[in-house]
Structure 1
Amino acid sequence: MKRIFSGVQPTGNLHLGNYLGAIRNFVALQHDYECIYCVVDLHAITVWQEPAALRAHTREVTAAYLAAGIDPKHSIIFNQSHVSAHAELAWIFNCVVRMGWLSRMTQFKEKAGKHRENASAGLFVYPSLMAADILAYKATHVPVGEDQKQHLELTRDTAQKFNNDYGVDCFPITEPLILGAATRVMSLRDGSKKMSKSDPSDMSRINMTDEADAIAQKIRRATTDPELLPGPAALDEAGRLPEETRKARPEAWNLLGIYAALSDKSWSEVLQEFEGAQFSAFKKALTELAVDKLGPIGAEMKRLQADPEHVDGILRDGAERAAAIAEPILREVQDVVGFLRP
């Protein structure tokens, strides 16, 4: 059976972008794939995390998985640090991956900024750990946002180089799954920037635990432009949104994309529905939809976070099931590399 691996970092303030770009897709995929969903706490500490906050945020992501509809009996839910195969395989991959590959990673450049000398070594080799996360389970597919495509390419390169170096057919060449109309959810204040938990303005994002009044206020105050909403003629012949069209009205297309994703409608259907409408009418419809979809999830997240023992039990069970898959694969890799084992 085809196997999915993916994860979310526990760094707090889960928002609409995390839901539409990742978690909602995780729910849908569990019906057609064997799914392994991780809370990637090892990745989180590539930048400083307050220990108590990291524990709370790990439970928050787990609660979001469960509240959104991931079934912990059908899928595997666990936190990365509970399965040592991730770290062990990452070291082997650090000896396979080339420095030049890592130097070209745009996310490292963005996160390290102008002071790369002060960035952690973990941040630099982050893609090796991501490759280990995926290949420790020989995952065949990974649902990714467009900003993660480069890291998945490195995973594919790592698998291919390992196979070639050792003359084996050990790892699959993992395929990306990029799903939905809102694979890129942008800031409500600036349509040219991604919605981000690190943005200092809480008005730039809709948090998964926001109450109805907060959601309504944020959508009402979201940046727009003075023109009426476009129609289906703005799409290309295949019904896709051309990038140059998006860039011309980034805020408008961001809100329309959010509506399309939340309503499970195509671009064409949404544009037919709102062609020529004013933003005031559209924002009212978007608010009602967002409150209807996110309200129950946020309430369930809060309930689960108030019961940490239940959440921790699900993580422990998931880690045991994940390790049962990963450990034989790690032993296979150790044998290929030439390690003596007890």
Structure 2
Amino acid sequence: MKRILSGIKPTGNLTLGNYIGALKHFKDFQDSGDVYIFIADLHALTLPIDPKFLNDNTRDVAAFYLASGLDPIKCTIFTQSSVPAHAELNAIVQNYLYMGELSRMTQFKEKSAKMQESAIGLGLFAYPVLMAADIVLYDADIVPVGEDQIQHVELTRDLVNRMNKRYGKILTLPNYQVNKVGARIMSLTDPSVKMSKSDPKGDIFLKEPLDSMRKKIMSAVTDSGSEVKYDPENKPGISNLLTIYASLKEIDIPTAEAHFKGYRYGDFKKEVADAVIDEMTPFKARYEQIIADKSYLEVLRAGAKKASLIANATLKRVQNAVGLLDIDEH
């Protein structure tokens, strides 16, 4: 059975893009694989974040996981910070990745370009190192990610090959997996940029009211044409709405295009909005119930215990391989 690992960083209010790109699909793995889904709260510290917001958002992500259909009997759900082995392995593997490699990471270059050099923390620069530790800790075979994280998984593969060549096969080589449809949902106000947790007008937030979601879709930027056609270059707004619809209906883009042939833009938007509301209504109800009964807490506690068993075994294997003294065996 393949082991699958993925996670979400609790750094912003989660959006429909996060739901389509990650949350909606996590449950698809739990009947065919050994699934570990975590909340990357240590990664959230790489940029300034309000402590209360981080705390509350971590709770929200846990509830969203459960509301999206993840079953804690079939998968392991936990917070990164509740498994100390993440930080401990990070301290080891950072010595096998190099500054030149990290400086070429696209996400670092994009984020740091918007900051003064004096404000760029080491954690932001070394973010891919901790991500590599996250992945190899669980001997992950498959890592579902967004397109913007592929480079980090490839760096993890370099790390695994490097350490295995030096110490023997101590780490499992992971493979990334990206959703065929909906991997990148764009802003409704500017479809040239990703829906990003930070644009109140262009993002649909999972916690916002249903009527607000509908209003944003009906106001989404389109073009001066009249044909509902998938053409990201010339019709990015229409293409984005088609992607949202196809993802929620679990159909491919050509099928969605055929369905909307002859539709006027207003009618097209209304049906996309209906699809979003149909999906979000039961999801939000489940989320509210989970927050109210705090059932996520016991799930996270149990998940941390189970995850620690796997993580500690990997950590011990690596510690022994690199020559750290095991005082329990002497």
User: Normalising to structure 1: TM-score of the pair?
Assistant: 0.92
Q: 1:34-54: per-residue Cα shift (whole Å, max 9, x none)?
A: 100000000000111222221
Structure 1 residue 305: deviation in Å?
A: 2.0
Q: Secondary structure at the match of 2:35?
A: strand
Distance 1:80 1:297 in 2: 24
Please name the residue that 1:252 is paired with.
238
Contact 1:146 1:183 in 2 (8 A): yes
Q: Secondary structure at the match of 2:42?
A: helix
Please name the residue that 2:31 is paired with.
31
Q: Secondary structure at the match of 1:339?
A: coil
Please name the residue that 1:239 is paired with.
none
Contact 1:139 1:172 in 2 (8 A): yes
TM-aligned CA distance change 1:338 to 1:311, over 3 Å: same
Contact 1:105 1:150 in 2 (8 A): yes
Measured on the aligned residues, the alpha-carbon RMSD in Å equals 1.3
1:168-183 to 2 correspondence within 5 Å?
A: 168-183=168-183
Structure 1 residue 303: deviation in Å?
A: 2.3
- Gaps of at least 5 residues in structure 2 are none
Identity %: 42
The one-letter amino acid paired with 1:25 is H
- Does residue 332 of the first structure (1) align with residue 330 of the second (2)? no
The one-letter amino acid paired with 1:52 is K
- Does residue 141 of the first structure (1) align with residue 127 of the second (2)? no
The one-letter amino acid paired with 1:145 is G
User: Normalising to structure 2: TM-score of the pair?
Assistant: 0.96
Q: 1:213-257: per-residue Cα shift (whole Å, max 9, x none)?
A: 1111011111111212345xx6xxxxxxxxxx4122211111100
The one-letter amino acid paired with 1:272 is A
Contact 1:209 1:302 in 2 (8 A): no
Distance 2:180 2:56 in 1: 30
The one-letter amino acid paired with 1:227 is G
Please name the residue that 1:273 is paired with.
259
Give aligned pairs, total. Answer: 326
Please name the residue that 2:291 is paired with.
305
- Gaps of at least 5 residues in structure 1 are 235-244
- Does residue 117 of the first structure (1) align with residue 118 of the second (2)? yes
Contact 1:9 1:39 in 2 (8 A): yes
Deviates more, 1:207-216 or 1:118-127: 207-216
Q: Secondary structure at the match of 1:203?
A: coil
Please name the residue that 1:79 is paired with.
79
Please name the residue that 1:153 is paired with.
154
Distance 1:20 1:193 in 2: 16
Please name the residue that 1:63 is paired with.
63
Q: Secondary structure at the match of 2:176?
A: strand
- Does residue 283 of the first structure (1) align with residue 281 of the second (2)? no
The one-letter amino acid paired with 1:228 is S
The one-letter amino acid paired with 1:280 is G
Structure 1 residue 211: deviation in Å?
A: 2.3
Please name the residue that 1:42 is paired with.
42
Distance 1:49 1:313 in 2: 26
Contact 1:6 1:36 in 2 (8 A): yes
Structure 1 residue 153: deviation in Å?
A: 0.6
Q: Secondary structure at the match of 1:183?
A: coil
Q: 1:243-282: per-residue Cα shift (whole Å, max 9, x none)?
A: xx41222111111000000001111110111123221011
